[in-house]
Amino acid sequence: MPQDTVNPIPAREELIRDAVIRLAGNSQDGIQSIGGFLARLAGRSAQEVMTYMTIPATISGGPSIFQVRMGTGEVLSAGDEADFLLAFYQHSYDNHIGFLKEGGVLLYDSDHVKPEDSEHRFVLVGVPISALTVEALGGSSREKGKNLFALGLLARIFKLDVAKLRAIFKERFGGKSEDVLRNVNLAFDAGFSYPIDNVLDRYFSFQAEEQGDGPQQVTMDGNTALTLGLIAGGVRHGAGYPITPWSTIMEMLRQQLPQYGGVFVQAEDELAAVSMAIGFSYAGRLAVTGSSGPGISLKMEALGWATMAEIPLVVVNIQRGGPSTGLPTNVEQSDLLQAIHGSHGDCPRVVLAAENVEDCFYIAREACELARKYSVPVFVLSDMSLASRIEAFDEPDLDTLMVEPTLDTEDRPENFKPYDLERITRHAPPGSWVEGGVFPQVTGLEHDESGHPSANPQMHAKMMKKRRAKIQQIAAELPASQVFGDTEGEVLVVGWGSTWGPIRETVIRERDRGRKIGHLQIRYINPLPNDLEGIFARFDKVLVVEMNDEGLYGYGQLAMLLRARYCNPAIRSLNKTDGLTFKIKEIMQGIEAISPFPTATL
């Protein structure tokens, strides 16, 4: 009889709104696959989901975790502590048992894990996962099957929709041989049919929530969302070079752009990649290049050329821990100053920061729009946390958002001046007809309005003002900043990038405790919105939360920029550089440090 029809476990049912499940093992065990299946199942079940993962930086692999928070209602962070820990090895238990909340469930592979005899804080559930996977599959397949066995256990414990899981298996493995999909289902069935009620007196069921008639949900990670946003924004060409964690964007663009009549080139190095992308854009095709911090450093000379020549270009930086090779598989937000000031000379450009997976799509599309409208390089900052995090969100309305790019080859008049001082730069792509046959130049040298090299001091000053003024014009046209929570009061918590979720959940908790507190996430980093000074003035303290070092003077990179811009001594800084995302309790402690609350109980 198929396992789908097995009767529910004869144990008590516990209704829950959400659950934090931490899977701990080695990267070779398919930990990420289990988490990915759970996250995608949540999205297809109209549940909220957020994930968090760590992977080793070494090619040979090593300890790894995948954390899933799924349930009913809005999920804003991956969770400070786990309700459920699945440990495959002794080191998985030793390193992560401290993350399991008191009263939580420890599910462990009893073939490899021996918990402390005196451990009474948790519900201990030992299952010989390795041995039972061998029994179910035999042969070498067992090494790739115990993750599916464990997923079967979780499906039984949490009453997950098995039919939807099988559909996900078919999508993931359907292109492989029949043996692969059969072994996947065999391993899953073996775990699902295990008599877990012999060792666990309860199972869990997520509370149902009324479903409206809103948009269908989609589930994906941040790099996928950002890639799709670039395509929706009209990008059809680009070039790059592999580096963690940018590479998945590059690979997806290589696969997808030819389907839209475009091309993505893997160049021989970073300098070649950015130069090719600039070439595409010079030819009238808005292009993208990207990397992580070390690769962006190598692109900087060419990006300075793009600023001088006023070439529209999208530059993606998926930040990781630095400097140098740093922490290539961990998160950090330490490339902000690089994005704004990384090039030599005065090099004004636009810098945007995505705040969650959904925003990765929309901010990438917006970057394309700004690059075209203002003929300027636009940086999109994401990070390792967003790149690998899986979230569910409303499906974008592509019928209204999709941009079909067109090549502007209309005739230019004889007096055509691409760098006209009175308007935004407009280039004439090669192939355009220019009356009189005198084609304007594009150069990295300072130039006059026609693009001809010029060392005239007055012309250089005018062109510098022109390049600066269009960034100022962008600031004047930005939408009003939105403050969540209280719009005046004790503390305004300010963040950028992937800190959005933990900050938002912290502010919700603090307001529930009676604090007058607000949250402002800055998406437009350069230029800054013009209304920030007035917003800051309405709060006693402004706490800037960011994942970078506090620097020589005690302020992170955004906090330093804000203090320099507004000269407001109320602006404080909360920083961390451990390669991990912020926990709710860390932000609560930061708030308490600058604004003590007499009744606070952290």
Euclidean distance between CA atoms 469 and 487, whole angstroms: 31
Q: What class does CATH assign to 484-594?
A: alpha beta
Q: How does DSSP classify residue 396? A: P
Distance (Å) of CA 415 to CA 6, 285, 366, 418, 451:
79, 24, 32, 10, 12
**What's the pLDDT at 208?**
74
CB 352 within 8 A of CB 367: yes
What's the pLDDT score for residue 589? 97
- Classify 3-206 by CATH class: alpha beta
Query: Coil, strand, or helix at residue 235?
Result: coil
- Amino acid occupying residue 411: D
CA pair distance 81, 90, nearest whole angstrom: 19
What is the per-residue pLDDT for 5? 42
CB contact at 8 A, 520 and 536: no
* pLDDT of res. 211: 58
Burial of 82-95, coded b for 16+ CB within 10 Å and e otherwise, reads: bbbbbbbbebbbee
Residue 507: other Cβ atoms inside 10 A: 25
Residue 198 is predicted with a pLDDT of 82
3-state secondary structure of 117: coil
Phi-psi region of 125 (alpha: psi -120 to 50; beta: other; left: phi over 0): beta
Q: Which CATH architecture has domain 219-401?
A: 3-Layer(aba) Sandwich (3.40)
Residue 327: DSSP 8-state = B
- The per-residue pLDDT for 176 is 84
pLDDT of res. 212: 58
Identical fold at 3-206 and 484-594? no
Q: Of the candidates 356, 495, 322, which has an alpha carbon nearest to the alpha carbon of residue 78?
A: 356
- At residue 408, what are phi and psi to the nearest 5 degrees? -85, 95
Both tokens of 380, joined, read 């999109």
Mark 389-405 as b/e (b = at least 16 C-beta within 10 Å): bbbbbeebeeeeeeeeb
Beta strand pairing call for 524-526 and 350-353: antiparallel
Residue type at 374?
A: Y
Global pTM value: 0.91
d(CA 230, CA 210): 34
Q: Which residues contact 334 (CB under 8 A, 6 or more apart)?
A: 293, 319, 321, 322, 323, 547, 548, 549, 557, 577
Radius of gyration of the chain (CA): 26
Give the start-to-end residue ranges of the domains of the chain: 3-206, 219-401, 408-477, 484-594
**Cα 379 to chain centroid, rounded:** 15
Q: Is the dihedral of CA 526, 529, 532, 535 positive or negative?
A: negative
State the SS3 of 86-113: EECCHHHHHHHHHHEEEEEEEEEECCCC
Q: What is the mean pLDDT of each run of 10 residues along the chain (602 residues)?
A: 44 86 90 89 82 78 89 87 95 95 95 88 94 84 79 93 93 86 93 90 79 77 98 98 97 97 97 98 97 97 97 98 93 97 95 98 98 98 95 94 93 92 93 82 94 96 97 97 98 98 97 96 98 98 98 97 97 96 97 84 48
